[in-house]
């Protein structure tokens, strides 16, 4: 990415900071807002739970793949022009998300949201760094980071109430006024700056990596439905993913200007940081995807309550960021440890839920999980780049966001597969015990009234109880991921100050 320098008056740079923060908040709203209406969209479009999860994972994968384009675009086009085009495309794709009438349509436009939204965070960050002197950058970046916190609080809360009062489509229409506010702010505030020259893009490396990531994601999303490797489709998708990854690695080793310079992995902290950010990505978005169907389908909670619970998670993240602000002299490895540990504990707590879980139980788990996210994200981001040479920051940042988003989309698919598979297994086990020969039924003298029971209601209740066990198993795996990430923290090297 070419270096951008903005010479601004002392007052005008705060307008740039406000605009960059608002644009980043718009992106953060997009990531979380669809989760609250997954159940309603699933019913409206006749989709299964693994299919409707593509509304979230498709957006995340598109964002991951197209985020590295930000650096290449800024070498050829003004940041102001890119932001205007991206925000306008984001608004249009949000409108079409609300107008969608089929699963294919809404997934397509959610992918479009991810493509247009991908440049917003890195370009907003570039604007802030260019507008503020070094001595004020810490404060400016802290304020800019609030956009990533406010988005997950505002979007589910407002979208949940509108979705309940009107229709699920309004959760996407909610983004439109925010998008226009961001568009007007960019037009009014972001200055025009000349482009210094064009950088070349390694299309072979990019396309190979994109095909590998897309094939891998499709494989995990459709694996449970296709009985995994019993299906030729899964085998083909796995083969495409492996071939794409092989081409990417081979080309990166032999190309003079690869899409991702593999020399960045020689830095120990960066490599460990990437593994940690992959685990962080696995833990970050999963509760926001599996909570809504759990609460709506098994407990009958309305969208407004679901949105409130997701908003509480954002408050926990804000609390974590607030704590970080007062722990500047504390070893970052300690903060990262507590961040992952708290998320793992929240997973253990969620695995104790039963079908009669209360709002307070769910809200508390959501708050604690958000706190862990807030404690983990800043120090991992700092540690990852602490000892890496500045000349590698462009591709290192691209890989950093790519790995985080791949972790999120991958584990969402795995968690949904666990819920569906274990739900089916438990349905068969529990259903086999619902018989007139069951001693519990005989003891309660229910064998005479068994024929009078509604088969539909009985089947629905069995399915409800079985799915609850599936969700509990998914929460257990979530907890294991949190605990498994902790030993990696001890591989981080802290640079001692002389």
Please state, rounded to an integer, the average pLDDT across all residues of the chain: 80
Quick one: the chain helix, strand, coil %, rounded to 5?
80, 0, 20
Residue with the bigger pLDDT between 426 and 282: it is: 282
- DSSP assignments along 68-124, one per residue: THHHHHHTTS-HHHHHHHHHHHHHHHHHHHHH--SHHHHHHHHHHHHHHHTTHHHHH
Question: Picking from 59-68, 140-149, 184-193, which range would have the lowest pLDDT averaged per residue?
Answer: 140-149
Q: Are 208 and 241 in contact (CB under 8 A)?
A: no
Cα(295)–Cα(288) distance, rounded to whole angstroms?
A: 11
**What percent of the chain has pLDDT above 90?**
14
Mean pLDDT computed over 187-213? 77
Give CA separation, 206 vs 68, 248, 277, 407, in Å: 9, 8, 21, 19
Mean pLDDT computed over 410-439? 76
Cα(292)–Cα(288) distance, rounded to whole angstroms?
A: 7
Q: Are 426 and 470 in contact (CB under 8 A)?
A: yes
Amino acid 316: pLDDT: 87
Mean pLDDT computed over 215-235? 79
Amino acid 138: pLDDT: 60
pLDDT over threshold 80, residue 380: yes
The answer for residues whose C-beta is within 8 angstroms of residue 491's C-beta and 6 or more apart is 268, 272
Cα(127)–Cα(133) distance, rounded to whole angstroms?
A: 12
pLDDT in tens, 231-263: 888 899 899 989 998 998 888 888 887 777 788
Residue with the bigger pLDDT between 94 and 1: it is: 94
pLDDT over threshold 70, residue 436: no
Question: Picking from 133-142, 281-290, 295-304, 329-338, which range would have the lowest pLDDT averaged per residue?
Answer: 133-142
Q: Is 96 exposed, middle or buried (0-12, 13-18, 19+ CB in 10 A)?
A: middle
Amino acid 498: pLDDT: 44
Amino acid 2: pLDDT: 45
Cα(319)–Cα(326) distance, rounded to whole angstroms?
A: 11
Amino acid 172: pLDDT: 87
- DSSP assignments along 355-415, one per residue: TT--HHHHHHHHHHHHHHHHHHHHHHHHHHHSSS-GGGHHHHHHHHHHHHHHHHHHHHHHH
Check the CA dihedral 121-123-125-128 and report its sign: negative
Q: Are 97 and 56 in contact (CB under 8 A)?
A: no
pLDDT over threshold 60, residue 301: yes
Other C-beta atoms within 10 Å of 196: how many?
Answer: 12
Amino acid 197: pLDDT: 56
pLDDT in tens, 249-299: 888 888 887 777 788 888 888 899 889 989 998 888 788 778 888 887 788
Q: Element (H or E) spanning 8, and its range?
A: none
pLDDT over threshold 90, residue 393: no
Amino acid 4: pLDDT: 53
Give CA separation, 314 vs 35, 147, 310, 327, in Å: 14, 11, 7, 20
Amino acid 310: pLDDT: 78
Give CA separation, 236 vs 222, 223, 228, 239, 414, in Å: 12, 12, 11, 5, 19
pLDDT in tens, 472-484: 999 999 999 999 9
Question: Is 194 strand, coil or helix?
Answer: coil
- pLDDT bucket at 341, cuts 50 / 70 / 90: very high
Q: Are 121 and 405 in contact (CB under 8 A)?
A: no
Q: How many CA atoms does the CB half-sphere of 431 hold within 13 Å?
A: 16
Mean pLDDT computed over 417-436? 75
Amino acid 211: pLDDT: 87
Mean pLDDT computed over 445-458? 55
Mean pLDDT computed over 374-392? 78
Amino acid 1: pLDDT: 43
Amino acid 476: pLDDT: 92
Cα(465)–Cα(461) distance, rounded to whole angstroms?
A: 6
- pLDDT bucket at 361, cuts 50 / 70 / 90: confident
Q: Write out the two tokens for 473.
A: 């198993």
Q: Write out the two tokens for 415.
A: 């968690």
Amino acid 385: pLDDT: 73
The answer for residues whose C-beta is within 8 angstroms of residue 321's C-beta and 6 or more apart is 145, 146, 149, 374, 378
- pLDDT bucket at 343, cuts 50 / 70 / 90: very high
pLDDT in tens, 19-29: 888 888 888 88
Cα(24)–Cα(28) distance, rounded to whole angstroms?
A: 6
Give CA separation, 283 vs 20, 86, 232, 448, in Å: 27, 28, 31, 49
pLDDT over threshold 80, residue 430: no
Residue with the bigger pLDDT between 224 and 78: it is: 78
Amino acid 452: pLDDT: 47
Amino acid 348: pLDDT: 92
Amino acid 137: pLDDT: 63
The answer for residues whose C-beta is within 8 angstroms of residue 480's C-beta and 6 or more apart is 344, 347
pLDDT over threshold 80, residue 440: no
- pLDDT bucket at 3, cuts 50 / 70 / 90: very low
Spatial CA neighbour of 272 closest among 382, 398, 346: 382
**What percent of the chain has pLDDT above 70?**
85
């Amino acid at each position: 990415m070419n270096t951008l320098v903005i010479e601004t008056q002392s007052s005008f740079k705060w307008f740039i900071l406000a605009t960059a923060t608002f644009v980043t908040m718009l992106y953060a709203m997009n990531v979380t807002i669809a989760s609250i209406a997954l159940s309603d969209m699933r019913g409206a479009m006749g989709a299964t739970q693994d299919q409707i999860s593509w509304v979230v994972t498709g957006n995340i994968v598109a964002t991951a793949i197209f985020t590295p384009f930000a650096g290449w675009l800024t070498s050829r086009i003004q940041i102001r022009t890119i932001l205007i085009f991206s925000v306008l495309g984001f608004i249009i794709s949000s409108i079409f998300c609300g107008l969608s009438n089929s699963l294919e349509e809404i997934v397509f436009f959610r992918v479009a949201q991810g493509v247009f939204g991908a440049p917003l965070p890195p370009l907003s960050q570039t604007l802030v760094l260019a507008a503020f002197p070094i001595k004020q950058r810490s404060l400016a970046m802290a304020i800019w980071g609030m956009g990533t916190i406010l988005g997950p609080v505002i979007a589910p809360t407002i979208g949940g109430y509108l979705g309940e009062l009107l229709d699920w489509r309004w959760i996407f229409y909610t983004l439109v006024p925010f998008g226009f506010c961001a568009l007007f702010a960019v037009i009014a505030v972001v200055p025009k700056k000349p482009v210094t020259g064009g950088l070349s893009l390694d299309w072979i490396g990019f396309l190979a990596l994109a095909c590998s990531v897309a094939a891998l994601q499709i494989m995990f999303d459709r694996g449970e439905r296709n009985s995994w490797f019993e299906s030729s489709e899964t085998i083909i998708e796995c083969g495409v993913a492996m071939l794409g990854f092989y081409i990417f690695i081979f080309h990166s080793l032999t190309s003079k200007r690869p899409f991702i310079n593999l020399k960045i992995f020689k830095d120990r902290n960066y490599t460990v940081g990437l593994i940690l950010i992959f685990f962080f990505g696995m833990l970050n978005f999963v509760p926001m995807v599996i909570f809504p169907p759990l609460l709506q389908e098994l407990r009958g909670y309305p969208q407004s309550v679901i949105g409130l619970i997701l908003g509480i998670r954002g408050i926990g993240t804000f609390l974590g960021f607030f704590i970080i602000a007062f722990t500047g002299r504390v070893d970052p490895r300690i903060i990262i440890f507590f961040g992952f540990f708290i998320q793992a504990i929240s997973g253990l707590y969620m695995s104790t839920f039963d079908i009669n879980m209360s709002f307070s139980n769910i809200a508390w788990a959501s708050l604690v999980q958000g706190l862990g996210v807030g404690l983990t994200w800043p120090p991992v981001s700092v540690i990852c780049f602490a000892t890496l040479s500045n000349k590698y920051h462009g591709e290192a940042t691209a890989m950093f966001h790519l790995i985080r988003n791949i972790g999120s989309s991958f584990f969402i698919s795995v968690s949904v597969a666990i819920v569906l598979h274990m739900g089916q297994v438990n349905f068969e086990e529990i259903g086999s015990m619902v018989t007139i020969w069951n001693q519990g039924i005989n003891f309660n003298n229910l064998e005479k009234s068994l024929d009078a029971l509604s088969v539909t209601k009985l089947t629905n209740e069995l399915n409800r109880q079985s799915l609850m066990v599936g969700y509990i198993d998914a929460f257990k795996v979530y907890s294991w991921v949190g605990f498994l990430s902790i030993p990696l923290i001890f591989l981080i090297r802290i640079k001692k100050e002389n």
